[in-house]
Structure 1
Amino acid sequence: MKPRRRILAATTALLAAVPLAIAAMSANASIPPPAAGWTQVWGDDFNGPNGSLPSSSNWIFDLGHAYPGGPANWGTGEIQNYTNSTQNIKLDGAGNLRITALKDGAGNWTSSRIETQRANFKPAVGGKLAIEGRIQMPNVTGQAALGYWPAFWALGSPFRGNYWNWPGIGEFDIMENVNGINSVWGVLHCDVAPGGACGEFTGIGNSRTCPGPSCQSAFHTYRFEWDDAAKTFTWFVDGQSYHQVTRDRVGAGVWDQMTSHAGYFILLNLAMGGAFPNALNNNQPTPVAATQSGHSLVVDYVAVYTAGGTPPTTTTTTTTPPPGGGGSAYSELQAENASERSGGSIAPAEGGSGVHQIANGGYLKFSGVDFGSGPARQFYARVASGAGGGVSGLVEVRLGSRTAAPVGTFAVGNTGGWDAWRTVPANISNISGVHDVYVTFTSGQPAPYVSVNWVKFGT
């Protein structure tokens, strides 16, 4: 899934096996322990009451037909409307997440798409990262499956709030399938489109049939590994490797563009129609009259693992700037000390104070913030949210004016409560010198969606 689409030829070649457990055909109650040498750093086992939504501490809902200001129909031509209705997405009470595509009496399709709150999944220097999910594709085939397009994938963090920098920020399609075909596609998207090192809009991909039972009739484990030391990306199904891309293949510059930013966020969605399923339906539109409503992408768990490497060392300096903002960009700029503020209210936060429950249109101004010779490449904000289901928005950094183009952006939704604080990173372009810094807040909903304790910058 991406802002454009490619056609890939299926292959049934069985390549090298790796020592990962092959999935059983029933749901697990929890995430299995990692293999020797690996450590789980994040995961969701989707355990919870039947009919409940997935954890807002882990996931953000993507709603409608596009990101705000992004390409229409998610850039892929898919036709469904994404919702956060439990008719389209819910926990089933048996340890699974179910995303269900539905057609109403007027012929309109709805489904769901979620992405992780975290957008910084990447390996340590010289280490490895693995993103893994145990998934059953919608159990429908033939004419009844035309248009179904389930996906488990990851996008580079700079895509958040920009939506026009694909494919340079990188995309890993860990599992894709269309039209109920018994195959999994694994694809890398990179560089520029059209053309470029990844041959966009096609990408560098491969596909194969699922081992044993079909992709549609049983759970299978889909895994992507990023090896920073070997400079490789590798795709697996049930422990069997079927696709690999090396740095040498795309070039060092393209590789660095994909791997030098803050990391990746993970997505799960079930689309209907669009360029990929249409292409594999003899370039005819999907879904069709025979396409059946009501089939589900079923996810047992999603987990992220790391192994080896040397995490970067960071030094944190905490100072409180004087009222009016100012001070060093590399110290914590306390939200309640902003020289100007619109929206929210000052209230206690983590032993001090913060600006609470900011809604669309709010902003904080910090005057005369000194970045020195920098250059600053990272922005951090300490935020919390008790927003209702599906309510989220953007935190944006602008220089000189609150209407200037953002230099950094991240999305935030419910973190588990208005006092459930977390530090969220975003990339910024090399900044030096002294600037008035505006932190602005943009949402498609009128309800408050974020509280801010402090902001700071890093090199």
Structure 2
Amino acid sequence: MKPRRRILAATTALLAAVPLAIAAMSANASIPPPAAGWTQVWGDDFNGPNGSLPSSSNWIFDLGHAYPGGPANWGTGEIQNYTNSTQNIKLDGSGNLRITALKDGAGNWTSSRIETQRSNFKPAPGGKLAIEGRIQMPNVTGQAALGYWPAFWALGSPFRGNYWNWPGIGEFDIMENVNGINSVWGVLHCDVAPGGACGEFTGIGNSRACPGASCQSAFHTYRFEWDDAAKTFTWFVDGQQFHQVTQARVGTTVWNQMTSHAGYFVLLNLAIGGAFPDALNPGQPTPVAATQSGHSLVVDYVAVYSAGGGPTTPPTTTTTTTTPPGGGGSAYSELQAESAAERSGGSVGVGDGGSAVNQIGNGGYLKYSRVDFGSGPARQFYARVASGASGGVSGLVEVRLDSRTASPVGTFAVGNTGGWDAWRTIPANISNISGVHDVYVTFTSGQPAPYVSVNWVKFGT
């Protein structure tokens, strides 16, 4: 389900099926407890009355054939119209979410796609993050399955409200499948398209048959782990590793581009047709006349876990350095937004326990003169921010040194945090910085509307 067309013909050698006549397992109807050392940070077990929609506090419905202003047909060539009708998406009353693809009498297909409200899933510095789901793919194979494209995946938060910055913001395909093949694909998308470090539009992928029962006939657990200390992304099915990508493979710059923003949101969808199923059915676009309507992607639960790592807020500092007039001083003390030497955009008002620069939009900036990083090196940037921006409005908070037009040394994305007084401390990785610099905090967005208030910024080693 990529924001660009891709072909995975290179993976066709990995399509060997394992036909086993094993009865489908039943749903758990609850999220299992995390493994030792892990903590659940978010989850949905899809328990609820039969015929009800999934929780709107957890999920956003993607509707139609594209994001507003985004690529047509979701950038993939898929043909279905996404709806929030209970004909296409509902809880089944037995602890499952069912997303069902339907064809009407005129040959038009409908289905559903949802994404998490939260878009900040990432590991703590030096820690791990896992995204896991227990899922049964649509139970259809052969000609009747041609064009079915279920997916469980994650996109980088800066994609929200932009829709044209793929694949640089990163994409983790935790589980993909097409055409009823007994195989799960795990894929990383990154950098630029076409080409780039991830070889777009294909991405860096691998696949394998589901262990034991086929992917279509039974539930399997699909898991993606991001290890910030080891600098690895790893894919599992039923606890068995089948794919891994390291920072060394894509390069530090590309890795940082994917991992230094605010985090990721998780998606579930069932597409019909498009580049991927077409690529594995050469010579005949999908769906075909024999493709059957009415099969469902069935999801028992989705959960996000964390393990290890340091704090997600800046460490306590013992420095007694105060912020002098003009905004300079120690990089490791809180540089108050309202004390910046120069400011463009926003307005000074009430902040988090004091004052802040509120409702900054595209093109705004804060300048702090002669900020002292010492021998450093500083590797972290933190900002205390809040946003009451309307849906779809978001943007970047960027750090630049010595010039407002210099390339950013650190960036994170921010959207609605729950209100203009809902303050959060968001971290970003930066290159090793030392010495004395003029620091510019710049604000870039694809929309004219304000999207962020800033209370203070700070650096850490």
TM-score normalised according to structure 1 size: 0.71
CA separation of 1:292 and 1:366: change in aligned 2, threshold 3 A: farther
Cα separation, 2, equivalents of 1:356 and 1:20: 60
Q: 1:54 to 1:443 in 2, by over 3 A?
A: farther
Do the aligned residues in 2 keep the contact of 1:158 with 1:427 (CA within 8 Å)?
no
- Report how far residue 366 of structure 1 moved: 19
Encode CA deviations 1:364-394: one digit per residue, 9 max, x unaligned: 9999999999999999999999999999999
How far apart, CA to CA, are the structure 2 residues paired with 1:16 and 1:144?
Answer: 19
Deviation at 1:346, TM superposition (A): 19
CA deviation profile, 1:221-275 (whole Å, cap 9, x unmatched): 0000111111111100000001111111111111111111111111000001000
Residues 185 and 205 in structure 1, CA contact (< 8 A), matched pair in contact too? yes
Q: Is the 8 A contact 2:211 2:238 kept in 1?
A: yes
Separation (CA, whole Å) in 2 of partners of 1:386 and 1:81 = 30
SS in 2 for 1:10: helix
For 1:31 and 1:106, the matched residues in 2 are separated by 40
Instruction: Report the secondary structure of 1:65's partner residue.
Output: coil
Structure 2, unaligned stretches of length 5 or more?
none
C-alpha change, 1:400 and 1:131, in structure 2 (3 Å) is same
Shift of residue 412 of structure 1?
A: 11
Most deviating of 285-294 and 305-314: 305-314
Offset from partner CA, 1:170-220 (integer Å, 9 cap, x none): 110000000000000000011111011111011000000000110000000
**Which stretch of the first structure deviates more once superposed, 348-357 or 245-254?**
348-357
The answer for the alignment partner of 1:457 in structure 2 is 459
Question: RMSD of the TM alignment (CA)?
Answer: 6.0
- Report the CA distance between 1:432 and its aligned residue: 19
Q: Deviations over 1:269-293 (max 9, x none)?
A: 0001000001111142111111111
Give per-residue Cα distances to partners, 1:268-326, cap 9 Å, x unaligned.
00001000001111142111111111111000000111111112548999999999999
What's the offset of the Cα at 1:126? Answer: 1.1
* Contact kept? 1:80, 1:108, Cα under 8 Å: yes
CA contact (8 A) 2:317 2:332 kept: no
Q: Is the 8 A contact 2:80 2:271 kept in 1?
A: yes
Q: Secondary structure at the match of 1:255?
A: helix
Whole-Å Cα distance in 2 between the matches of residues 395 and 61 of structure 1?
A: 27
**CA distance in 1: counterparts of 2:202 and 2:170, whole angstroms:** 13
**Hey, what does 1:206 align to over in structure 2?**
206
1:144 Cα deviation from its structure 2 partner:
0.7
Q: Distance in 2 between matches of 1:418 and 1:22?
A: 53
Q: Which stretch shows the higher mean deviation, 363-372 or 25-34?
A: 363-372
Which residue in 2 is equivalent to 1:166?
166
Contact 1:6–1:276, Cα closer than 8 Å, also in 2: yes
Report the alpha carbon displacement of residue 70 of structure 1 after superposing the two structures with TM. 0.7
Post-superposition offset of 1:4: 2.1
What displacement does 1:8 show? 3.0
| SS across alignment from 2:456 | strand
Aligned mates of 2:283, 2:17 — CA distance in 1: 35
Between stretches 33-42 and 327-336, larger displacement belongs to 327-336
Note closer, same or farther for the CA distance 1:403–1:68 as it changes in structure 2 (3 Å cut): farther
Of 4-13 and 338-347, deviating more is 338-347
Distance 1:107 1:368 in 2: 65
CA apart distance, 1:7? 3.1
* Conserved? CA contact 1:62–1:115, under 8 Å: yes
Alignment correspondent of 1:154: 154
**Would you say the 8 A contact 1:208–1:242 is kept in 2?**
yes
Residues 128 and 341 (structure 1), Cα distance of their counterparts in 2 relative to 1, 3 Å cut: closer
1:141/1:451 Cα in 2 relative to 1: closer, same or farther (>3 Å)? farther
- In the other structure, the counterpart of 2:362 is 360
Give the conservation status (yes or no) of the 8 Å contact 2:5–2:76.
yes
Deviation at 1:435, TM superposition (A): 21
TM-score normalized by structure 2?
0.71
Q: 1:400 to 1:124 in 2, by over 3 A?
A: closer
Using the TM superposition, name which of 234-243 and 50-59 deviates more. 50-59
**Distance in 2 between the 1:23 and 1:424 partners?**
46
CA 1:429 to 1:296, structure 2 compared with 1: closer, same or farther past 3 Å?
Answer: farther
Looking at structure 1, the residues matched to 18 and 387 of structure 2 have their Cα atoms a distance apart, in angstroms, of 41
Q: Distance in 2 between matches of 1:264 and 1:83?
A: 23
Show CA shifts across 1:28-85 (max 9, x none).
1210011111111111111111111111111111111111111100000001111111
Report how many aligned residue pairs link the two structures.
459
Query: How many angstroms apart in 2 are the aligned matches of 1:53 and 1:353?
Result: 42
Q: Map 1:261-300 onto structure 2 (within 5 A).
A: 261-300=261-300
CA 1:313–1:390: 2 relative to 1, 3 Å: closer
Deviation at 1:26, TM superposition (A): 1.1
The answer to whether the 8 Å contact 1:137/1:298 transfers is: yes
Q: In the TM superposition, what is the alpha-carbon distance from 1:6 to its structure 2 partner?
A: 3.0
Q: Is the 8 A contact 2:260 2:411 kept in 1?
A: no
Q: Shift in Å at residue 409 of structure 1?
A: 13
* Contact 2:48-2:91 at 8 Å conserved across structures: yes
The answer as to whether partners of 2:260 and 2:412 remain within 8 angstroms in 1 is: no
Structure 2 SS opposite 1:313: coil
Identity %: 92
Q: 2:113 & 2:288 partners in 1: Cα distance?
A: 22
In terms of Rg, which structure is larger?
A: 2
CA distance in 1, matches of 2:19, 2:334: 45
SS of the aligned residue for 2:350 comes to strand
Residue matched to 1:65: 65
Q: Retained in 2: the 8 A contact 1:179–1:277?
A: yes
Is the partner of 2:10 in helix, strand or coil?
Answer: coil
**3-state DSSP class of the match of 1:13?**
helix
